[in-house]
Amino acid sequence: MSGQTPALAERMQHIGLSPTMKGTIAAEKMRREGIDVVDLGAGEPDFPTPAHVTAAAHKALDANFTKYTANMGTLELREAIGFRYREDYGVSYAPDEIIAAAGGKQALYHAAMTLFGPGDEVVTHAPGWPTLLEQIKLAGATPVVVTTRVEEGWALTADLLLSAVTPRTKAIIVNSPGNPTGALMSETEAKKLADEAAKRGLWIIVDLCYEGLVYDSVPHNLPKIFGDVMRDKLVLCGSASKAYAMTGWRCGWVLAPKAIVAGCNALQSHESSNVNSITQKAVVAALTSSQDCVAEMRAVYKQRRDQVIEWLKEEPRLTCAVPQGAFYLYPSVQAFLSPSVPTSQAFTDGLLAKEFVVVPPAEAFEATAAFRLSYATSLEKLREGVTRIIRYANSLPLK
Ligand SMILES: Cc1ncc(COP(=O)(O)O)c(C=O)c1O
């Protein structure tokens, strides 16, 4: 019946399509029209999946490893995840404390659905990945957002997160390395937060999806620091997507106390069942073979990060903190806002319309006056993108 709103469920009034996807859709349309678009919006590695990982998938296919597996993931995969966390962080998780899901996104969603419900408040931070907020809402709980500050390099501190805790707070979600700022929670702050959370009986969920992409040898052993103090209320969510250039394969995981993993398992058993069987074999290869491929990609990302920061200095008003992780820069556009370009959304809309550069605005991350620039693309494209961004910024009217 035209003109009438279809009778969608009430929950659909509170969520919409991920805002980071909007620019990508507009850019796709331009590309179809033959326009030379520079896309610096991608939230995924530009590298191919490492050859030894795809070889394991080919082998699985040839062996007809194409049936349902255990709902939680094969024992082999869960042991491989446990092995990786033991090697990297010195923490110990048994196979029944680990479940594989279809990406870190589903891992986080199942953790949210298992733990949160109506009446609960869940504290998380902005600028931040919007999905975390939507998942809290989908679980019927209330997100409470604290804001990190550019003046402090977007540092996520225990005091800031704890300042939002009320008697209704059930959990705190920490994303480190963080999207979109690339900032890390320091080990000192993590210890402080762990001690307080343990005292107050709060859960901590750590979104570690950019683990493996930490630069400058900064210590970042959050699993051990939280685990030593409050393992019984700690949920670690990780993913093969970013570190191993496996975004399309869809594999993430939850490491948590048995009851939480059992909850995730029950949800998954009625929803999507096991992660794709071929993917599972590929991820076992990724997690248990040499980690040199991760180090090699990390070295390239670091070189790009440093180079783009240098290029951005050509326009000193585009100030940008040096991120310690992930593959994003988060330059400020504060100096360019004016009555005719009042928001970063207006800035990035104009950038797309005039210079055909795609970057998501701060508004996509519950923030203002900045945009996210992904350096998971070639130096050539990055150079072209930065040139266009600076040209556009300089064309804007002065305040
Ligand atoms: C902060 C953060 N967490 C989790 C994810 C989930 O990634 P995936 O579902 O591909 O593992 C993403 C993806 O962009 C992310 O940015």
Tell me the pLDDT tens digit for each residue of 66-84: 999 999 999 999 999 999 9
pLDDT above 90 for 264 = yes
pLDDT category of residue 104 using cuts at 50, 70 and 90: very high
Q: Which atom of ligand 1 is nearest to the CA of 104?
A: 11
Q: How many CB atoms lie within 10 A of CB 27?
A: 19
At residue 6, the pLDDT reads 77
What residue numbers bound the domain in which 353 lies? 10-48+293-394
In a domain, 154, yes or no: yes
Same domain for 280 and 167: yes
Given 254, 273, 288, the domain boundary residue is: 288
Q: Determine the Cα–Cα distance for residues 339 and 153; give it in Å rounded to an integer.
A: 27
In a domain, 38, yes or no: yes
- Tell me the HSE value of 57 on the side-chain side, using a 13 A CA sphere: 15
In a domain, 1, yes or no: no
Q: Determine the Cα–Cα distance for residues 99 and 77; give it in Å rounded to an integer.
A: 9
Q: Please choose from 110, 175, 205, 209 the residue to mutate so as to test ligand 1's pocket, defined by most ligand atoms within 8 A of CB.
A: 209
Same domain for 307 and 282: no
Q: Determine the Cα–Cα distance for residues 120 and 136; give it in Å rounded to an integer.
A: 9
Contact assessment for residue 150 and residue 183, using Cβ atoms and an 8 Å cutoff: no
At residue 21, the pLDDT reads 74
In a domain, 155, yes or no: yes
In a domain, 136, yes or no: yes
Contact assessment for residue 125 and residue 148, using Cβ atoms and an 8 Å cutoff: yes
Name the token pair of 63: 């062996």
CB of 127 within 6 A of ligand 1: the answer is no
At residue 380, the pLDDT reads 97
Asked whether the bond before 177 is cis by omega within 30 degrees of 0, the reply is yes
Same domain for 313 and 265: no
At residue 136, the pLDDT reads 97
Residue 121 dihedral angles phi and psi, to the nearest 5°: -105, 140
Full DSSP string of 289-353? S-SHHHHHHHHHHHHHHHHHHHHHTTSTTS-----SBTTEE--B-GGG--SSS-SHHHHHHHHHH
pLDDT, the chain, mean: 95
Same domain for 260 and 330: no
At residue 19, the pLDDT reads 66
Same domain for 91 and 74: yes
Same domain for 133 and 77: yes
Same domain for 317 and 199: no
- H or E stretch covering 24: helix 20-32
Q: Please choose from 105, 185, 366, 374 the residue to mutate so as to test ligand 1's pocket, defined by most ligand atoms within 8 A of CB.
A: 105
The whole-number average pLDDT for the span 347-362 is 95
At residue 220, the pLDDT reads 95
Same domain for 336 and 282: no
DSSP classification of residue 122:
E
The whole-number average pLDDT for the span 272-299 is 98
The residue whose two tokens read 């180079």 is: 307
Instruction: Report the CATH number at residue 336.
Output: 3.90.1150.10
pLDDT above 60 for 3 = no
Same domain for 279 and 302: no
CB of 105 within 6 A of ligand 1: the answer is yes
Q: Determine the Cα–Cα distance for residues 87 and 108; give it in Å rounded to an integer.
A: 23
Same domain for 211 and 73: yes
Given 268, 288, 308, the domain boundary residue is: 288
Pairing assessment for the beta strands 169-175 and 121-126 based on DSSP bridges: parallel
CB of 247 within 6 A of ligand 1: the answer is yes
At residue 1, the pLDDT reads 43
Q: Which atom of ligand 1 is nearest to the CA of 240?
A: 11
Same domain for 197 and 324: no
In a domain, 226, yes or no: yes
Asked whether the bond before 219 is cis by omega within 30 degrees of 0, the reply is no
In a domain, 4, yes or no: no
Longest dimension (CA), the chain: 65
Instruction: Report the CATH number at residue 283.
Output: 3.40.640.10
User: Total domain count for the chain?
Assistant: 2
Given 234, 264, 288, the domain boundary residue is: 288
Residues 6+ away with beta carbon under 8 Å from 73: 98, 99, 100, 253, 274, 275, 280
Same domain for 377 and 271: no
Assign residue 308 a region: left if phi > 0, alpha if psi is -120 to 50, beta otherwise?
alpha
Least confident of 12-16, 227-231, 265-269, 339-343: 12-16
Name the token pair of 306: 């440093």
In a domain, 374, yes or no: yes
Question: In angstroms, how far is CA 363 from the centroid of its own chain?
Answer: 16
